Amino acid sequence: MDNTLEKTQSRIAITNANALLILYRFWRECVSDFLSKLFFLPYLLILCLLTTSGFVLADDSKADSKKIERIAPALKTLARSVKPDDKSEAQVILRKTQVHIDEQLMSHATSYVAVYINSDEAVRDYSQISVSFNSFYEDIALEFANVRTPDGKMDSIKADATQIQSPTDENFYHDRKELLFSLPNVRKGSIIEFQYRYTDTKKMVPNQWFDSFSFHWWEDRAAGQGSRADAIVTSELHITAPANINLVSSDTSRYQINEQRSTKGTQQTITWTGKNLAKIELQSAMTREHNYAPYLRVSTTAKWNDVARWADNLIEPHLVSDAKLDELIAEIKKTALTPEAKTKAVYRAIQDRVRYVFAHVGRGGYEPHDAFEVLKNGYGDCKDQTVLAVMLLRKLGIAADPALIVTRGRGIPDMQVPGVSFDHMIVHIPAQNGLQEIWMDTTGETSLYPGFSVGIEGQPALIVNKDTQVISVLPSLPAKDHFAELELVFDKFSGRDAQASFKLQFGGLYEQRLRSMWQYSSERDKYFRELIGQIYNSAEVTELTASNADNLWQPFTISGRFTFTNVWGGDKDPINYSFSITQVTNLFADLRNLHKTQDRKQPYVVDPGYNLRSRVVFTSPDRDHHLRLKTQGENIDNAYYTLIQTGKQENNRYVITQDLTVKAVNVALKNYDDFYQKTNELNESNDWTLSYEYDKTTAELTALESNGKNDVASLIALTKLHIKNGAYEKSLATAQQAVKAAPKKAEAYYVLGLAQGYNQLLPESDASFKKAEALGYKL
Amino acid sequence: MMLFHHAKSNHPQLQRQQLLGAGVLTAILLLISGCSQQPHSKQVAITSSAVAGTSASTEIAALEAEVEKTPNNAELHYKLGLAYIVDAEKTKSLRSRELAIKNFRQVLKLVPGNPATLKLLYNIYYEDIVAGDEKAFAKASSIFSQLSAAPQTEVNAPSLGVFLHKYLAQKKSGKKNLPELYSALLAAIHEQPANDKAYIQLAKMYREENYFPLALATLKLGAEEVTHSSALYEAIANTYEARAEASGCSYDATTYLSDAIHFYQQAVPLTPESAELHYALARLYLDKNLYQLALHESSILVELEPTAENIAFSAQNYSIIGNEPKAQQLLEQAKAQGLSASDASFHEIYMNSGEWMKAALSFTDYLQAQKSISVYDAIKADIIGQQTDLDFSALIKKKQLAFNSEWEAAVYAFWTDKLTRTQFQQAAKNRCERTEYFFYSGYRDYRAGKLAAAKQNFSAALQQNTYRFIERPLARHFLVTLKSR
């Protein structure tokens, strides 16, 4: 069996670290903190293919019967050989694993870890050790666990401080278990050590062995606060195997891990050694790739086709029908005539008839139920739903295959070396007559067709087909497809109150998350009112309606009304408006909680890019209130953000639009300060501020212009108002009309003199004034 | 014409400083408590130390540290902005200026619309406009539009800064482009209709180009928008006066003088302490022969500003109306106050009272102080010389003779026998010129012993009612002399 204790710990650790980290990064980037819980939920649903490797706690009697062989030097010797780093919270002194692969390609492994504890935080984190394993394939045994206290005394693990736990996840019935043990008297200055052994009990892929390893020890932080990977003095991995087995491994030279191969008789040995590996600083917005930590994959095959054929053999036998399933197929055939209609009908049928439940105890995690059984049960996990979907599609004449996916929660491992590290299965429909290529995921709870989510976007996939030779990568959506768009219209004034209608439309990750939130939130009305209320803290969301929450074909939208109380004095008082791009980013992004430059230790990744848009209509309370634009939002275009803002005066209202694209970027550490500064510039960029103020002059001007009168008094009044408004050209025209209308009217010449003067016609102006005086005007 | 002298200008110029505004530093001191929620004295103390420069960098460092701890404290950003702008004023550091702007902007983020901060920021950008920073106009305009009505009147409109920048640039280059300046001022009026500065400056420029009606109309537009502006009323009055003078002889345009009086009167209650207004009114009342009112205004002028020049002005007024004892008493007072012996008041008052020897002595002092002399000075030298048998010709020859108009050239030509009496008479077109024609013709008759003709001409000079002309008291003096013969 290929699953080793070493591998399991490391992989689980990577899974935990990456999953938590990336999830954390993801929602921090894209949604406010308090959305996070709901964001997790759909993710958990995706993680339906449990890791296939893991521990089986060795039967005590069996364990006892084996002689425990310590693979590391005595702890006392180790302690002497290392000078503790006073600055580090904890330091792994030695992490050593020995794996032995036998002729049947079953592995037996022993792993040893010694950690110097140098802080209270590390005391909390390392007091209890948890190792996850899959009881279907693996057997596990803790061989010893000791603590060397600061005064040099040794204390061993107590008999009642070890147990096997089954994690409890709603809707998940599986073989994953955890070996949990608590270490006694861990204190600052202690050194802990433990050694465990694991043995493969079943093979996952016949005639193949593969595994992946981390050179750090990934330790869960206390109280579920993520993981830690402390600096390590020495990390060693030894694999021994029959010399005739070809072992393929990934390149570790970029991590400064030394690889040595040797053969002695019928056995080959490969050793990887890393010295003085730095602590892995886990931070938000890290890359999906695993390249921030030394990582190794080893396999007996270099061909993904071997894995594809294994998976195909595992799944194909379950593509079987029964009468009820045939009945469903016939039913779809009646109404769905085109390939697109058929595909949609399959999606709808599964959404309507099969509830997502993971129920696979005793099956190893990769083998689905029969297609007809899934329909009959009315529930199934990702592979069950995929099998049913593939069955239906094929029967309807649509080419389709299952596809194994590594979801975003697990990051993007190095896929150069084949292995089975997938955690999800969906349907791949290749491009064919009448259809573009589709990646269909039915597991989301009433997700927008075809269920393609950010959780799988850009991730590696193995199309389960005998002919598959390579790993595919799922398409990535452009930033404009991950969008949130706000339309806000101030449209009602009542007494001192004002109201605005709003509509929020979403695409991509925002559509998926907001829809899920709506579906899963227990007090969703209250919750969404509070959420949207953040756009205007001073307003109350007085109406709220969600649309398409259960619609498989139309995007989820939210609409409603804001009520602003006591914002306007009424009558001739001005009404003031303001809006900032940060009112959108504060809700749909998190650009205010970046690490300061000096605290950032990792490159910063925005992935995927996204787009936030708004259109805000500020309306005048009446015709006599006129616009006074005070400040305008600015445009920004740099390596990280593009913000385009426009403002336009329309009849009795002012309309602004904002279009912010947060680009998908991987910001190298050396450029982080620039990114930080640019983000601050965005956060501090100008607001739109404007007011509608009662304008007597303009009101009179409007009245005069609209009354259509051409009498001299109106024309003179109009000229004066134009001058007052600085519309000098217009004033000249109306003054000339006034003189023409009343050639003996002294005041007409007076205003003409003014208008001419302000149009730089100075001699003409002088002449007009003289004429005015000659006609009796007292200048 | 020989109008009495006065040291004061009767056309106050708009000074550059007025358009520059109070200046950022001054603004800081004025606005010091604007953003404060702290006791006033505390803020002043902070700024005072910064202004004094005793520990500006320490002050800034301490504030920076506080801001680091509480980055959302608007008060701290305000203080830090002040400290930086004070430092920028002192050291001319652009970096400090930028940091001041950054902190003021942060205040506005935290306390949108804070008037004190808006004013400070505006003044910074306004200075940049004046300095020719093209981007500053948009920034200043943006801030300007955020100021509410009251603080808006306390700053200059952005386009006024543009005007000043262009004006200075034109002055430097010598390339005059008046339309460009007019446009900037019109824009300033539009931006800030309730501020009188742009109206006044625009009218002044129109006036200088002799577009008096447009200047007046502009100022009256301003008066409709800016009620109770003493400066505006004063500018209107100035313009009426200038228009009267531009007619050739203001005594032929007494309506304008009345209008000028009316607007000076409007200005007085608004700025009762303005000596300028009372000086102008005294002159105009005298021009209108309202001598009691003129003397009253003179007394107010002296009361408000008891300078030697103002006392001498009052003395001349008394001299003009023939109250010689009072005139001489005031002249002594002015002398005691430090009036220079070379001041024209001395010899003119002595001439009016027929004290020729005193006049000769004072005139000598006067002449010695002059680099160039006018036609009327040359004539005075002759008259005083003839009345005292003294000869000023040697002194006169050392001075450059300046002609300010064709009329002055005609006067001198007649005086030096290069123009006949008839030609001289034909050259006199208005009451002012006729006053001089009659007087100088009469004096010539007087010297030639044609006493009847002299009497007739002196009387005709008086009948022109050009009340502030020195020829008038002189004519009166010689008439008295003739009567006594």
Q: Which of A689, A724, A753 sits opposite B214 (nearest CB)?
A: A753
Q: How far is B190 from chain A (nearest CA, A)?
A: 6
More confident residue, A492 or A701: A492
Tokens of A776: 């009796």
Residue A758: closest C-alpha in chain B: B186
Q: Do A724 and B217 touch (CB under 8 A)?
A: no
How far B355 CA sits from the closest chain A CA (Å)?
A: 46
Inter-chain touch B145–A753, beta carbons under 8 Å = no
B203: left (phi over 0), alpha (psi -120 to 50) or beta: alpha
> A-B interface: how many C-beta pairs under 8 angstroms?
62
Q: Token pair for residue B48?
A: 């005072």
Residue from A582, A697, A728, A769 to probe the interface with B (highest B Cβ count within 10 Å) = A769
Q: Return mean pLDDT, chain B.
A: 87
CB contacts of B142 in chain A (<8 Å) are 630-632, 686
Q: Are A420 and A410 in contact (CB under 8 A)?
A: no
Core vs surface per residue B77-107: b (16+ CB within 10 A) or e: bbbbbbbbbbbbbeeeeeebbebbbebbbbb
Among A724, A766, A773, beta carbon nearest to B214: A766
Residues A480 and A491: beta-carbon distance below 8 Å? no
Identify the DSSP state of A182.
Answer: E
A628/chain B closest Cα distance in angstroms = 8
pLDDT at B54: 47
**Residue in B81, B51, B59 with CA at minimum distance from that of residue B73:** B81
Continuous segment of H or E residues that includes residue B416 = none
If one compares A626 and B290, the residue with the highest pLDDT of the two is B290
Alpha carbon distance A47, A55 (integer Å)? 19
pLDDT in the model for residue A481: 96
Residues of chain B falling short of pLDDT 50: 1-54
CB contact under 8 A, B221 and A726: no
Give the pLDDT score at B109: 76
- Give the least confident one: A139-148, A160-169, A570-579, A603-612: A160-169
pLDDT bin (cut points 50, 70, 90) of residue A506 is very high
What does the buried/exposed string (b/e) look like for B255-293 if buried means 16 or more CB atoms within 10 Å of the residue's CB?
A: ebbebbbebbebbbebeeebbbbbbbbbbbbbbbebbeb
Would you place residue A18 in the very low, low, confident or very high pLDDT band (cuts 50, 70, 90)? very low
How distant is the Cα of B169 from the closest Cα of chain A, in angstroms? 21
User: Which residues of chain B are within 8 Å of residue A632 when distances are taken between CB atoms?
Assistant: 142
B112·A750 Cβ contact <8 A: no
- Round the CA-based radius of gyration of chain B to a whole number and report it: 29
pLDDT digits (tens, 9 = 90+) for A245-285: 999 999 998 888 999 999 999 999 999 999 999 999 999 99
CB A741 within 8 A of CB A715: yes
ipTM: 0.84
B334 φ, ψ (degrees, to nearest 5): -65, -40
Amino acid (one-letter) located at A743: P
Q: Which residue of A has its CA nearest to B138?
A: A631
A175 close to A361: Cβ distance less than 8 angstroms: yes
Query: Closest partner residue to A726 among B142, B186, B211, by Cβ?
Result: B186
Residue with tokens 């439309």: A505
Asked if residue A331 has pLDDT above 70, the reply is yes
CA–CA separation, A327 and A353 (whole Å): 14
Beta strands A227-229; A231-242: pairing state:
unpaired
Estimate to the nearest angstrom the gap between the alpha carbon of A239 and the chain centroid.
Answer: 37
Contact A684 B109 (CB under 8 A): yes
Least confident window among A325-329, A449-453, A628-632, B226-230? A628-632
Cα(B296)–Cα(B303) distance, rounded to whole angstroms? 10
Residues 6+ apart with CB under 8 A from A335: A341, A345
For residues A68 and A71, give the distance between their C-alpha atoms in angstroms, rounded to a whole number.
Answer: 9
Q: Give residue A137's pLDDT.
A: 87
Residue in chain B lying closest to A757 (CA): B214
Q: Are A69 and A194 in contact (CB under 8 A)?
A: no
**Mutation site for A-interface testing, chosen from B108, B180, B205, B214 by largest number of A Cβ within 10 Å:** B214
Contacts of B193 in chain A (CB under 8 A): 724
* Structure confidence at residue A700 (pLDDT): 79
Contacts with B237 from chain A: Cβ below 8 Å: none
**Chain A contacts of B213, Cβ < 8 Å?**
753, 765-766, 769-770, 772-773, 779
CB A373 within 8 A of CB A317: no
Beta strand A401-405 pairing with A379-380: unpaired
User: Considering CB atoms only, which of B182, B187, B217 is closest to A760?
Assistant: B182
Tell me the per-residue pLDDT of A206-227, one tens digit each, with 9 for 90 and over: 999 999 899 999 998 988 888 9
Place of tokens 């939210």: A558
Asked if the peptide bond before residue A294 counts as cis, ω within 30 degrees of 0, the response is no
In DSSP terms, A192 is beta-bridged to: A115, A147
How far the first Cα of chain B sits from its last, in Å, is: 29
Q: Kindly tell me the burial class for residue A744, based on how many C-beta atoms sit within 10 Å of its own C-beta (0-12, 13-18, 19 or more).
A: exposed
Which residue from B minimizes the CA distance to A727? Answer: B190
Closest to B202 (Cα-Cα) out of A765, A776, A560: A765
Neighbours of A320 (CB within 10 A): 13
Judged by a CB distance cut-off of 8 A, whether residue A43 touches chain B is no
Contacting A with CB below 8 Å, chain B residues are 105-106, 109, 112, 142, 145-146, 179, 182-183, 186-187, 189-190, 193, 206, 209, 211, 213-214, 216-218, 221
The answer to whether the Cβ–Cβ distance between B211 and A770 falls below 8 Å is no
Nearest to A614, CA basis, from A574, A645, A572: A645
B379 three-class SS: helix
Q: Which one of B142, B186, B213 has the shortest CB-CB distance to A758?
A: B186
pLDDT beyond 70 at A58: no
pLDDT band at A3 (very low <50, low <70, confident <90, very high): very low
Kindly determine whether residue B218 and residue A757, on different chains, have CB atoms separated by under 8 Å: yes
Quick check: A96 pLDDT over 50? Answer: yes
**pLDDT confidence of residue A66:** 56
The per-residue pLDDT for range A309-318, each reduced to its tens digit, is: 999 999 999 9
Partners of B216 on chain A (C-beta within 8 Å) are 779
Name which of B146, B213, B221 is nearest A769 (Cβ-Cβ).
B213
Cα distance from B282 to chain A (closest Cα, Å)?
Answer: 24
Q: Which residues of A touch B198 (CB under 8 A)?
A: none
Kindly list the residues from chain A whose CB atom is less than 8 angstroms away from the CB atom of residue B206: 757, 762
CB-based contacts of A155: which residues, under 8 Å, 6+ apart? A146, A147, A149, A184, A185
DSSP E strands in A455-531: the ranges are 460-463, 472-473, 483-494, 497-507
Chain B CB contacts of A687 under 8 Å are: 112
Give the closest-approach CA distance of B106 to chain A in angstroms: 8
Q: Which of A698, A700, A723 to mutate to test the interface with B (most CBs of B within 10 A)?
A: A723
* Distance from the Cα of residue A45 to its chain's centroid: 15
* Nearest residue, CB atoms, B213 vs list A725, A760, A766: A766
A728 near B CB under 8 A: yes
Query: What pLDDT is attached to residue A567?
Result: 85
CA B139 to mean position of chain CA atoms: 34
Of A689, A724, A757, the CB nearest to B214: A757
**Residue whose structure tokens are 């008096």:** B212
Searching chain A, which residue's CA lies closest to the CA of residue B147? A630
Is residue A735 less than 8 Å (CB to CB) from chain B?
no
Looking at the predicted structure, is the pLDDT value of residue A62 above 50?
no
Radius of gyration over every alpha carbon of chain A, rounded to an integer in angstroms: 35
Q: What whole-number distance in Å separates Cα of residue A27 and Cα of residue A590?
A: 9
- Interchain contact, B206 vs A578, CB within 8 Å: no
Would you call A211 helix, strand, or coil by DSSP? strand
pLDDT, average across residues A600-614 = 96
Query: Using 50, 70 and 90 to split pLDDT, how confident is the model at A167?
Result: low
Distances (CA, A) of A241 to A229, A247, A303, A616, B453: 29, 9, 20, 68, 147
pLDDT at res. A158? 81
DSSP B277: H
**Average pLDDT rounded to a whole number, residues A735-763:** 96
Nearest-neighbour CA in chain B from A779: distance (Å): 7
- Residue A447 confidence (pLDDT) above 70: yes
pLDDT at B74: 87
Q: Which residues of B touch A754 (CB under 8 A)?
A: 214, 217-218, 221
Residues 6+ apart with CB under 8 A from A313: none
- What confidence tens digit (pLDDT) does each residue in B281-335 have? 999 999 999 999 999 999 999 999 999 999 999 999 999 999 999 999 999 999 9
What predicted TM-score, i.e. pTM, was given to this entire model? 0.65
Contact between chains at B142 and A762 (C-beta distance less than 8 A): no
Question: What span, in angstroms and rounded, lies between the C-alpha atoms of A676 and A285?
Answer: 13
Q: Distance between CA B137 and CA B133 in Å, rounded?
A: 8
A765 to B211: CB separation less than 8 angstroms, yes or no: yes
C-alpha A750/C-alpha B217 separation (Å) is 8
Confidence grade of residue A361 (pLDDT, cut at 50, 70, 90) = low
- DSSP class per residue in A119-164: SHHHHHHHSEEEEEEETTTEEEEEEEEEEE-TTS-EEE--GGGEEE
Taking alpha carbons only, the member of B287, B268, B353 closest to residue B315 is B353
Q: In what order do the strands lie in the sheet with A128-134?
A: A128-134, A176-182, A162-165
At which residue do the structure tokens 């040099």 appear? A152
Model pLDDT, residue A19: 32
Distance separating alpha carbons of residues A402 and A68, to the nearest angstrom: 44
Within 8 A of A582 by CB-CB distance, chain B residues are none
Residue A60 has pLDDT above 60, yes or no: no
User: How far is residue A563's CA from residue A490's CA, in Å, rounded to a whole number?
Assistant: 10
Q: How far is A176 from chain B, CA to nearest CA, in Å?
A: 47
Once rounded to an integer, what is the mean pLDDT over residues A389-407? 96
Length of chain B: 485
Q: Across the interface, do B213 and A684 touch by the CB < 8 Å criterion?
A: no
> In whole angstroms, what is the distance from residue A129 CA to residue B128 CA?
65
pLDDT higher for B38 or A191?
A191
| pLDDT the model gives residue A142 | 93
Does the beta-carbon distance from A726 to B106 stay under 8 Å?
Answer: no
